[in-house]
Amino acid sequence: MQLRRPLLPGGPCPASPLPALLLLLALQGAAATPARPGGPQDSGWQKDAVLPHGLLQQAARAALHFFNFRVGSPSALRVLSAVQQGRTWINSKKEYQVDLVFTTERYNPEKGEEHLGKCSAQVLFRNEKPRPVVNVTCTRFIEKNTRQQKDYLLYKHMKQLKKSLDVVSMPDSHGHIDPSLRPIWDLAYLGSSYVMWEKTTPSLHYYVAQLSSVKQWRTNEDAIDFDYIVLLHEFSTQEIIPCRVHLVWHPGKPLKVKYHCQGPQAPEEASGTEEGSAVAPT
């Protein structure tokens, strides 16, 4: 004869509280475990209390160089205005991941124009290696139709040139850029943005100092085939680094860049295939 456990008044016998308690403790433990920012849980990453000097500005510059390259518009170039906030993580390999928000300005601002707006970015510096991994999003971008019209006017101007460009230096010895050559400078700066992003490390950053040679190559394709030598000023070492840059540009299409720089830290050649992504502005 089988004995049955008597039921308690009001319903069936309640289950043991031990499994529920263990589940609750497990959930609390998972919530307390820090996660690597922007990725899966990784206990090797921790918030860095002491930032390397200038790391937030360094990350903002790298993100902006990458953004300018990805947008591919000489009419919509941005420069860094100010870093508003940021936080940094470090792992056992001395890699830094930086989350930050910064403001930008037009590279060629028009009279009375204010800040373009904000950008948010996540930048990963793999120790002292160049070419940081970038994800960046910017808002309040220049009006799309205006940008497309300006880009097309530049494109049309270069395609209608009766002879290829052959400029010795820009700016000249007095720091002056002829207004008729300003669009050419902007296009060269656009291609140089790719070079500066690739060469950036946590301790090295670059600015365009001068174009020592500018030439346009005639091609049978619709794109502008453009070749120039840019002198990059590296601020940490105060060195001037010449880089030969070749770019292929067509309005509305991805920019293609190849380059070769003198110096021990430069890759022999680079192209427009890169790691990371730039999100289209909203």
**Mean per-residue pLDDT over the chain, rounded:** 78
Looking at the structure, tell me whether residues 81 and 117 fall in a common domain.
yes
Query: Which of 51-55, 213-217, 225-229 is the least confident region?
Result: 51-55
Tell me if 260 sits within 8 A of 243, measured CB to CB. Answer: yes
The residue assigned the tokens 């009375």 is 112
Per DSSP bridges, beta strands 117-125 and 239-249 are unpaired
Q: Check residue 109 and give its pLDDT.
A: 67
Read off the pLDDT of each residue in 101-128 and give the average, rounded to a whole number: 83
Read off the pLDDT of each residue in 238-258 and give the average, rounded to a whole number: 93
Looking at the structure, tell me whether residues 161 and 131 fall in a common domain.
no
Expressed as residue numbers, the domain containing 52 is: 47-138
Looking at the structure, tell me whether residues 244 and 191 fall in a common domain.
yes
Q: What is the dihedral of CA 273, 212, 186, 159, to 10 degrees?
A: -90
CA 174 to chain CA centroid, nearest Å: 32
Read off the CATH number of the domain in which 131 is found. 3.10.450.10
Express each pLDDT in 127-183 by its tens digit: 889 999 999 999 866 778 888 898 999 888 888 776 667 777 888 878 888 888 888
Residue 1 burial (CB count, 10 A): 2
Express each pLDDT in 258-271 by its tens digit: 999 987 554 444 44
Of 110, 138, 166, the last residue of a domain is 138
Looking at the structure, tell me whether residues 231 and 130 fall in a common domain.
no
Looking at the structure, tell me whether residues 164 and 244 fall in a common domain.
yes
- The enclosing H or E element of 96 equals strand 96-106
* Per-residue pLDDT at 34 exceeds 90: no
Predicted model pTM: 0.77
Looking at the structure, tell me whether residues 206 and 263 fall in a common domain.
yes
DSSP labels for 24-80?
HHHHHHHHHS---TTSS--TT-EE-SSPPTTHHHHHHHHHHHHHHHHHT-GGG-EEE
Looking at the structure, tell me whether residues 179 and 87 fall in a common domain.
no
Tell me if 260 sits within 8 A of 266, measured CB to CB. Answer: yes
Looking at the structure, tell me whether residues 133 and 161 fall in a common domain.
no
Total domains, the chain: 2
Looking at the structure, tell me whether residues 172 and 242 fall in a common domain.
yes
Tell me if 106 sits within 8 A of 70, measured CB to CB. Answer: no
Q: What gap in Å lies between CA 81 and CA 113, rounded to an integer?
A: 13
Express each pLDDT in 43-76 by its tens digit: 577 876 566 778 999 999 999 999 999 999 998 8
Of 85, 109, 138, the last residue of a domain is 138
